[in-house]
Amino acid sequence: MSVQSPVLADTLDEAQVDALHGRILTVDAHIDVRDGFNTLGNDATLETEGQFDLPKLRRGGLKLAVVALYADGVPNTAEGRAIARAQIDGKFDGISRLVAAHPDKLTFVRNSSEIAQAVAEGKQAILLSYVNAVAFGSDITQIDRFYEKGVRVLGLVHIGNNSFAASSRPNVSFGDDPDATGGLTELGRQAITRMNELGIVPDVTQLSPRGVAEVLAVSKSPVVASHSGVRGRVDSPRNLSNAELRAIADKGGVAHIVAFTSYLRDRDGSQKAFQEDVFAPFGLTPGKENPRAVLSSEDFARFQAGYRKFSHRRFEFASLIDWLDAVDYAVRVAGIDHVGLSSDFNNGGGVRGYAHVGEAKNVTQELLRRGYSEDQIEKLWGGNFLRVLTENEQRRGGK
């Protein structure tokens, strides 16, 4: 039986689930490349401790993984930018090695027609996205550079502000003003325009509310939130308000609801455990001090190991039910054509029942159990994302 999670009590006919899951385009709109991924080399046929690897990908039948070249939250300084660039380059190298080692099973895709071809050939497709333009410094030509590498979805910020935009989570240890209400800078507005010209989908995840509004005002093409929660259920600055969900929909875009426990359940215990297990052993507080700056190299390595260990078990604090309850909420607010799915695997994402890509079929089963039609399930799983990607392609060059 494909369903392993105890949260799915009333199961459907397995053949029905298998058939539907096999027919539709399944897309996880945001998966991170974990640190150390480039050390896999060509020996990627064995399962890893991560939530995303080739055996799990094949077992789960996920047809398209939008894989993020993601830089940690680092200060917008010369040192921080160098660290971010090294992370990005390492992650690009790692995912490139994996794809190159298995051309019969994996392929990079850059547009909607290549996605269709990959599906027809029975291959798992990898589309690159990018998160956190801090690594760009103030060099807008880096957008073109990463477009050439295959990036087709781009978010300007993560934790902390940078030269392009303000984050929904300004970081005091980086020198950010926590009370500021910034949005896009002039450089950020130019970046959105350049994305439109290239056909890159702007990603509003992690932006401040003003930043979200300004991206929607500047962009000539529909946008996505690749991995966001809903503020109507959990009042986190990282989540989208009802007004933001509707505004993204009005622009023709899609809000992908993330399977990340902290953004799905109030007082779920994960934040307390995160503080106690990861930060407290070093006398630190999340968001107050910058561990990289205040810890010795040895202690920072221990801190990172603890962070990874906790990240691998964060899924325990919420279930597939909690996640899809948030998806239901977003559908009621924004409409079925403007909601999608994402996990944030390898960076703290995942829930019981969708703890790694190998459990993707559980999602289809639970959506069926909730009464969604095949057409609606395909929209949530991948159809809405594909529509936005295609519209950005078609409007490339300002059309």
pLDDT top residue among 184 and 79: 184
Residue with the larger pLDDT of the pair 294 and 111: 111
- 232: which DSSP letter? T
Final residue of a domain: which of 256, 284, 317? 317
The answer to whether residue 4 is domain-embedded is no
Check residue 286 and give left, alpha or beta (phi > 0: left; psi -120 to 50: alpha). Answer: beta
Q: What is the pLDDT of residues 49-65, one digit of tens each?
A: 789 999 999 999 999 99
CB 232, CB 326: distance < 8 Å: no
Instruction: Identify whether residues 113 and 164 lie together within a single domain.
Output: yes
Instruction: Identify the domain boundary among 281, 298, 317.
Output: 317
329 and 311 in one domain? no
In a domain, 289, yes or no: yes
295 and 191 in a common domain: no
In this structure, is residue 5 part of a structural domain?
Answer: no
Residue-wise pLDDT tens digits, 107-160: 999 999 999 999 999 999 999 999 999 999 999 999 999 999 999 999 999 999
What pLDDT is attached to residue 103? Answer: 95
pLDDT at 10: 52
pLDDT tens digits for range 321-346: 999 999 999 999 999 999 999 999 99
> Do 204 and 288 have their domain in common?
no
Average pLDDT, the chain: 89
Within a domain: 228? yes
Same domain, 222 and 293: no
> Is residue 13's pLDDT more than 90?
no
Instruction: Name the 3-class secondary structure at 143.
Output: helix
Based on the domain organization, do 51 and 197 belong to the same domain? yes
Higher pLDDT, 224 or 75: 224
Average pLDDT over residues 72-101: 90
Find the CATH number of the domain harbouring 244. 3.20.20.140
Higher pLDDT, 165 or 299: 165
Helix 142-149 × helix 186-198 angle, to 10°? 30
pLDDT at 38 over 60: no
- Quote the pTM value: 0.89
Q: Cα separation of 378 and 8, whole Å?
A: 20
Model pLDDT, residue 48: 81
Are residues 198 and 290 located together in one domain of the fold? no
Identify the weakest region by mean pLDDT among 134-148, 170-184, 190-204, 319-333. 170-184
Residue ending a domain, among 317, 352, 381, is: 317
Per-residue pLDDT tens digits for 203-262: 999 999 999 999 999 999 999 999 999 999 999 999 999 999 999 999 999 999 999 998
Please check the confidence at residue 292 and state whether its pLDDT lies above 70.
yes
- Tell me: do 157 and 278 sit in the same domain: no
Is residue 115 in some structural domain? yes
DSSP codes joined into one string, 15-42: HHHHHHHHHS--EEEEEE--TTGGGGTT
Q: Are residues 307 and 328 in the same domain?
A: no
Phi, psi of 92 (to 5 degrees): -65, -40
Residue 4 has pLDDT above 50, yes or no: no
Tell me the residue range of the domain where 99 lies. Answer: 14-264+319-394
In a domain, 1, yes or no: no
Residues 116 and 230 in one domain: yes
97 lies in some domain: yes
First to last CA, the chain: 48
Neighbours of 43 (CB within 10 A): 8
Give the model's pLDDT for residue 397. 73
Q: What percent of the chain has pLDDT over 90?
A: 68
Same domain flag for 161 and 276: no
The more confident residue out of 375 and 76 is: 375
The pLDDT confidence band at residue 72, using thresholds 50, 70 and 90, is confident
Same domain, 109 and 178: yes
- Within a domain: 157: yes
171 pLDDT tier (thresholds 50, 70, 90): confident
Confidence class of residue 275 from pLDDT cuts 50, 70 and 90? confident
List beta partners, residue 384: none
Structure confidence at residue 7 (pLDDT):
39
| Total domains, the chain | 2
